[in-house]
């Protein structure tokens, strides 16, 4: 099931910074000048932090199915003075439609909503540069261990290697490498 846009207000709020500080969490993976893709960006809880880390020479492609999410993120990005380095991209359920070679991809609390996991991870694998990373983070609450194991099996079949399992509050997280 796709997370309805209005539900985003329940977890995309300042209190969340206490346990998911975007810049602290993503600092190990993002360097100035990088091209980063935030898939299932929602209202951009992580997108603004990614844009700060990527710096003025970098960019973030923020991808979501729902126009309401992208509209809210657009307003936030302007308020934060980050609009020039964030590209808003509305995708379709069947395809991300992003081709830019990426240095880093984030998929936070969204992969369980994707109907065709093999296709989804193949698209990410193709858009990542060799040697680059995907950080996959799934919520502990409503993603069972067996469903997560199936997702990880798909990732391995696609060609990803699990490099690390970083500690992320309320979540299970996997840093995946391509090549």
Ligand X SMILES: C[S@@+](CC[C@H](N)C(=O)[O-])C[C@H]1O[C@@H](n2cnc3c(N)ncnc32)[C@H](O)[C@@H]1O
Tokens read off for 74: 């657009």
Q: Indicate whether 154 belongs to the interface with ligand X (CB under 6 A).
A: no
**121 Cβ contact list (under 8 Å, min separation 6):** 154, 155, 158, 160
CA dihedral angle for residue 167, residue 121, residue 26, residue 43, rounded to 10 degrees: -110
Q: Indicate whether 63 belongs to the interface with ligand X (CB under 6 A).
A: yes
Q: Indicate whether 64 belongs to the interface with ligand X (CB under 6 A).
A: yes
Task: Looking at residues 31 to 60 of the shown chain, list those that interact with ligand X (rule: CB under 6 A).
Answer: 39-42, 45
Q: Indicate whether 91 belongs to the interface with ligand X (CB under 6 A).
A: yes
Q: Which of 12, 147, 166, 177 binds ligand X (CB under 6 A)?
A: 12
Binding-site size for ligand X (CB under 6 A) equals 20
Q: How far apart are CA 125 and CA 130, in angstroms?
A: 9
Closest to ligand X by CB, 53 or 65: 65
Q: Which of 27, 71, 113, 165 binds ligand X (CB under 6 A)?
A: 113
Q: Which of 36, 48, 60, 65 binds ligand X (CB under 6 A)?
A: 65
- With both helix axes pointing from N to C terminus, report the angle between 145-158 and 117-127 in degrees, rounded to the nearest 10: 50
**22 Cβ contact list (under 8 Å, min separation 6):** 45, 46, 48, 49, 50
> By the criterion CB under 6 A, which residues form the site for ligand X?
2-3, 12, 39-42, 45, 63-66, 69, 91, 93, 108-110, 113-114
């Amino acid at each position: 099931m796709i997370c309805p846009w209005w539900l985003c207000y329940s977890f995309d709020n300042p209190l969340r910074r206490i346990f998911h500080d975007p810049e602290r969490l993503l600092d190990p993976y993002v360097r100035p000048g990088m091209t980063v893709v935030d898939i299932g960006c929602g209202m951009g809880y992580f997108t603004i932090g990614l844009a700060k880390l990527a710096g003025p020479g970098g960019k973030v492609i923020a991808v979501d199915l729902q126009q309401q999410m992208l509209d809210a993120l657009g307003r936030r990005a302007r308020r934060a003075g980050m609009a020039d380095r964030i590209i808003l991209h509305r995708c379709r359920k069947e395809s991300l439609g992003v081709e830019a070679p990426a240095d880093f991809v984030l998929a936070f609390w969204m992969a369980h909503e994707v109907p065709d996991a093999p296709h989804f991870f193949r698209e990410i694998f193709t858009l990542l540069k060799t040697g680059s990373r995907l950080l996959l983070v799934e919520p502990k609450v409503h993603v069972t261990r067996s469903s997560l194991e199936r997702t990880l099996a798909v990732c391995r079949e696609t060609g990803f290697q699990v490099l690390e399992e970083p500690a992320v509050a309320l979540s299970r997280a996997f840093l995946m490498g391509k090549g």
